[in-house]
A and B are shown apart, each in its own frame.
Chain A
Amino acid sequence: MNLEEYRTLFMVATLGLALVAASPALSVVVRFQGSSERFSKLWLLGLGHMVEDYPFNVTVGDTYSVFVGVGNRMGCSEYYVVYVKFRNSTQSLPDVSGSLPSSLPPLYEFRFFVADGKAWESPVTFAFQDVSFQDYSVFVGGVSINGVTFPVNASAVWDSENTGFNFQLFFELWRYDKTLQSFQFHNRFVGLLLNITV
C-alpha cells in the first residue's frame, strides 16, 4: 500500500467515525422506520382463555362466555371500536377483500385505547331469548350481550349441510383514522358459529 492509498483509508475511517459521533443529532432529522409491518390483531378465545372450547351448540336460557382481544402494532396508541353483530346465514358478513364492514347494525360495542405493543381483552357473555322453533325454522327474538338485551328478530332455516340452525355472533374491528377524523373498518373480524338447539 502506498501513501495515497493510506490517505484514502484514513479519510474513509474519519468520515465513518464522524458519522457515528454525529448520530445523536442526525437521529432527529433522519428517522429509521424499520422493517416491521404495522398492524392490529383481533382474536377470540374460548372460556378457558385458549383457542378451544368455543360454544357451538347453544340452548335457550343458558349463558355463554368468550374473550375478545385486540393487539396494537401500529407504532403509536390507537383508538378502537369493536362492534358486536348478529346474523343468520343469509345476512351479510364483512367483505375483507373490499374493506367493507357488514351492513348489519351493531348490537353491542367496546370502545378502548391500546398503547403500541400492548393488548386489550374483555369477556363477552351472551344468551338467547324469545326463541321459537317451527318445523324447519327457528326464530330468535333477542340476544343478551353482557347483560344487555337487544331485539334481533332473526330467523334461520335448517341447514342440512351443517346440520343445525346456524347463526353467527361476530366482532368487527374499527380504528379511529386521524386524517379522516372518523372510525374506519380495520378489515378484521372474528366470529362464532352457533347452532341453536332446544
Chain B
Amino acid sequence: MFVMRSATRLCFASTTLLFILLSALMLSTSASSNQETAIFGISEADYLMAQAHEAVLGAEEVGADVSGLLDRLDVAGEYLAEAHIWYRLGDFENATRFAGLCFDVVEEVRSEAYRLTEEAYGLWVAGLFVRIIGSFVGVVVVVLLCYVVWRAFKRRYQRRVLGLKLEVVPDES
C-alpha cells in the first residue's frame, strides 16, 4: 500500500514537472517565434520603405508631383518608427502589428510611384521632342535671319564705301 502511494506521488510529481518544463519550453518557443516574426516584419517593411523611397525619387526626377506620396510615406514612417520602438522595448506583438501597417501603406505608395513615373516619363519624352524640334527650328530661323541681315548690311556698306568720291582738300600749311 505504501509502495503504491509512493509510486503514485512520484508519478504525479514527474507529470507535474514534465508539464511545467513543457509549458516553459512552449512559452520560450512562442516568445522566440514572436521575436522572429517581428524581426521579419520589420526588415520587410524597412526594405519596402527604401524601395518606395527610390520609386518616389524616380517619379520626382521625371517631374511628377510626389507631394501626396511623400505625405503617405510619412505615415508609413511613423508606423515603422513605432515598430522599431516597440521591438526595442521587447513588445514583439506591437512591433509586428506596426510593421504590418507600414507594409500596407508602403506597398500602395510604391505601386503608385511606379505608375506616376510612367505617366511623367511619357510627358517628359513628349516635352523633350517638342524642345528638340523647337530648338532646331529656332536655330535655323536665327541663322537665316542673320544671313539675310548680313547680306543687306553688306550691300549697304559696299554702296556707301564705293559711292564715296575723292575730295581734294587744299593744304592749309
Residues of A within 8 A of B (CB): 3, 6-7, 10, 13-14, 17-18, 20-28, 76-77, 79, 81, 105-115, 120, 148, 150, 176, 178, 181
Contacts and interface: CB of A to CB of B under 8 A. Distances in A.
Given A18-B139, A112-B74, A178 B54 contact: yes
Contacts of A176: 50, 53
Contacts of A18: 139, 142-143
A10 B148 CA distance: 11
B135 A10 contact: no
Given A110-B81, A148-B85, A17 B70 contact: no
Given A10-B150, A115-B67, A17 B142 contact: yes
Contacts, number: 99
Interface of B: 49-50, 53-54, 56-57, 60-61, 66-67, 70, 73-74, 77-78, 80-81, 84-85, 88-89, 128, 131-132, 134-136, 138-139, 141-143, 146-147, 149-150, 153-154, 157-158
Given A21-B138, A25-B131, A148-B89, A7 B150 contact: yes
A111 B139 contact: no
Contacts of B134: 24-25
Nearest to A120: B74
Nearest to B141: A21
A17 B136 CA distance: 13
A111 B78 CA distance: 6
A116 B156 CA distance: 56
Given A6-B153, A108-B85, A111-B80, A77 B57 contact: yes
A109 B135 contact: no
A109 B85 contact: yes
A27 B77 CA distance: 36
A21 B157 contact: no
Given A7-B150, A26-B135, A178 B85 contact: no
Contacts of B57: 76-77, 178
Contact of A77 (B66, B147, B153, B157): B66
Given A17-B146, A25-B135, A110-B77, 17 more contacts: A17-B142, A20-B142, A22-B138, A25-B136, A28-B128, A77-B70, A105-B88, A106-B88, A109-B84, A111-B77, A111-B80, A111-B84, A112-B78, A115-B66, A148-B85, A150-B88, A176-B50
